[in-house]
């Protein structure tokens, strides 16, 4: 196995279970590595630090999978980690037949995402090294879950960085284009091949439940970036009189309407539009709402894009605050780890000052329990939600 030696001082964070080694931290190899090769990471003096896989073409060159000398990366380790991930979810109260089984570094399987939708699983291999281990991963999933089918989605952004050739499609059994899942007291249609991410935003399960606490019986609500209606349906189910749900995707709006019909719910006005333009239109018409939910896509794919992303958040928050009735509530989310909780609070403060609306924070949320994050890597806590009352 190829030996990778790191610079003096780097060993401290690795011994503290930080699982990444950046390219500038490497001072030498026992031989030239190829993308996806398995490696042993050693400190400057040659002492063992961990087993991982390498992609010398990327800034995050090594991702460590095992810090134990007697546990090298083998098929048995993959099976052990998948079983541990399954056992953890089995202990949780996930009131749904859809959940995240593997959350990459959060489950000590960097570069692997596995979401389960009833009797089907969707996988993403987001690193070159994990992609090379697919022949260990897929049989292990079949044996563990007894699934009817496994489908691979391609994360094009990650694939472009890692140099992975796009694959995708059915890897095992048969997978229908659509699957119906349930969450609490609602049902949702999931289009596995065409849906966002792996098909549904499972990480917002907790938030969809929490939002119900802010619904005023008979109130008027607004769901911005509504996707297929997770928040909109939850608000109607909680007793809202009406919800305006807006998204730029025609396909998402169509599925949202079908989800409302599937649950026998009415009172949602579905609007296909650019969210920024639509919020300005609502304000010009003098509209206002008892609850405004804003759940935008990731505006910040990397650190360099943060300033532009914050400008986008500022615009959304200004418009959202102006559209919230006095005594009403506004919820704002970020699904990018580059946009921190502090970024959100600071931008929210600036927006409140600009529109001269006093707010107070009444709740916060994060990704649900089946999306664990590890303490040594704050960027594994990527989803943040802040809920404010607009006084």
pLDDT category at 332 given cuts 50, 70, 90 is: very high
- pLDDT of 260 > 80? The answer is yes
Q: Which residues contact 362 (CB under 8 A, 6 or more apart)?
A: 214, 329, 387, 388, 389
Which residues, at least 6 apart from 177, have a Cβ–Cβ distance to it below 8 Å?
191, 192, 193, 194
- 3-state per-residue secondary structure call for 32-94: CCCCCCEEEEECCCCCEEEEEEECCCCCEEEEEEECCCCCCCCHHHHHHHHHHHHHHHHHCCC
The pLDDT value given to residue 171: 95
CB 223 within 8 A of CB 246: yes
* Structure-block tokens of residue 50: 């961990």
Cα separation, 70 vs 80, in Å, equals: 14
Q: How far is the C-alpha of 287 from the C-alpha of 79, rounded, in Å?
A: 54
96 DSSP 8-state letter: B
Tell me: the pLDDT tens digits for 43-84?
999 999 999 999 999 999 999 999 999 999 999 999 999 999
298 pLDDT tier (thresholds 50, 70, 90): confident
pLDDT digits (tens, 9 = 90+) for 340-367: 899 999 999 999 999 999 999 999 999 9
Cβ burial 164-200 (10 Å sphere, 16+ → b, else e): beeeeeebbeebeeebebebeebebbbbbeebeebbb
Which CATH code fits 75-179?
3.30.750.80
Superfamily of domain 201-390: Vaccinia Virus protein VP39 (3.40.50.150)
> Do the first three CATH levels of 2-66 and 201-390 match, i.e. the same topology?
no
Domain ranges of the chain: 2-66, 75-179, 201-390
pLDDT tens, residue by residue, 155-201: 888 888 899 987 889 999 999 999 999 999 999 999 998 877 788 99
pLDDT at res. 288? 98
Three-class secondary structure of residue 199 per DSSP: coil
**Residue 82 near residue 71, CB atoms below 8 Å:** no
Rounded Cα distance, 109 and 103, in Å: 8
Listed in sequence order, the DSSP H helices in 217-370 are 230-237, 250-262, 275-284, 306-323, 341-355
Q: What CATH number does domain 2-66 carry, 3.20.20.70, 3.40.50.300, 2.30.130.10, 3.30.70.360?
A: 2.30.130.10
- Catalytic residue (one of 335, 344, 352, 388): 335
Residues 207-220: tens digit of each pLDDT: 999 999 999 999 99
Closest of 111, 114, 255 to residue 171, by C-alpha: 114
d(CA 314, CA 106): 31
Using CB atoms within 10 A of its CB, is residue 277 exposed (0-12), middle (13-18) or buried (19+)?
exposed
In the residue annotation, 335 being an active-site residue is answered as: yes
User: b/e map of 353-389 (b: 16 or more CB within 10 Å)?
Assistant: eeeebebeeebebbbbbbbbbbeebeebbbbbbbbbb
Q: Write out the two tokens for 104.
A: 């990459």
- Residue 301, pLDDT above cutoff 80: no
Mean pLDDT of the chain: 95
Q: Is the pLDDT of residue 125 over 80?
A: yes
pLDDT (0 to 100) of residue 105: 95
Tell me what pLDDT residue 165 has.
Answer: 84
- pLDDT category at 319 given cuts 50, 70, 90 is very high
- Strand partners of residue 334: 384
Q: What Cα–Cα distance (Å) separates residue 330 from each residue in 17, 233, 391?
A: 38, 17, 11
Q: What is the reported pLDDT for 96?
A: 97
Least Cα distance to 366 among 379, 380, 382 occurs for: 382
- Give the C-alpha separation, 190 to 258, whole Å: 11
Given a cut of 90, whether residue 299 has pLDDT beyond it is: no
Gyration radius (Cα) of the chain, Å: 22
pLDDT for residue 341: 92
- CA–CA separation, 273 and 352 (whole Å): 25
Q: List, for residues 1-44, the tens digit of each pLDDT value.
A: 999 999 999 999 999 999 999 999 999 999 999 999 999 999 99
> DSSP string of 205-216?
HHHHHHHGGGPP
- Residue 93, number of CB atoms within 10 A of its CB: 5
């Amino acid at each position: 196995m190829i030996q990778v030696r790191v610079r003096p001082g780097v060993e401290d964070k690795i011994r503290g279970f930080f699982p990444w080694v950046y390219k500038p931290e490497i001072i030498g190899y026992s031989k030239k590595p190829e993308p996806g090769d398995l490696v042993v990471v050693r400190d400057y003096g040659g002492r063992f630090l961990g087993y991982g896989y390498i992609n010398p073409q990327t800034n995050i060159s090594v991702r460590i999978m095992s810090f134990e000398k007697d546990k090298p990366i083998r098929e048995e380790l993959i099976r052990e980690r998948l079983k541990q991930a399954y056992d953890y979810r089995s202990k949780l109260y996930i009131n749904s037949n859809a959940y995240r089984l593997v959350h990459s570094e959060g489950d000590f399987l960097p570069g692997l995402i596995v979401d389960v939708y009833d009797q089907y699983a969707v996988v993403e291999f987001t690193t070159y090294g994990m992609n090379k281990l697919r022949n260990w991963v897929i049989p292990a999933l079949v044996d563990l879950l007894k699934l009817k089918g496994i489908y691979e989605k391609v994360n094009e952004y990650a694939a472009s960085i890692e140099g992975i050739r796009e694959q995708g499609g059915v890897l095992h059994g048969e997978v229908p284009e659509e699957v119906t899942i349930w969450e609490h007291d609602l049902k949702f249609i999931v289009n596995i091949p065409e849906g966002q991410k792996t098909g549904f935003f499972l990480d917002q399960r907790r938030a969809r439940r929490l939002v119900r606490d802010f619904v005023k019986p008979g109130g008027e609500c607004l769901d911005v970036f509504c996707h297929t209606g997770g928040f909109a349906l939850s608000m109607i189910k909680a007793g809202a009189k009406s919800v305006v749900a807006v998204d730029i995707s025609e396909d998402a709006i169509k599925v949202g309407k079908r989800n409302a019909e599937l649950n026998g719910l009415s009172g949602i006005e579905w609007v296909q539009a650019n969210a920024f333009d639509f919020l300005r239109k609502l304000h010009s018409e003098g509209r206002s709402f008892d609850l405004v939910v804003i759940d935008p896509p990731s505006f910040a794919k990397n650190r360099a894009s943060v300033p532009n992303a914050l400008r986008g958040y500022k615009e959304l928050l200004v418009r959202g605050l102006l559209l919230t009735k006095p005594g009403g509530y506004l919820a704002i989310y970020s699904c990018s780890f580059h946009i921190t909780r502090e970024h959100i609070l600071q931008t929210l403060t600036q927006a409140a000052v600009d529109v001269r609306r006093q707010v107070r924070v009444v709740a916060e949320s994060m990704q649900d329990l089946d999306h664990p994050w590890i303490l040594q890597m704050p960027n594994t806590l990527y989803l943040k939600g802040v809920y404010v009352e607009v006084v």
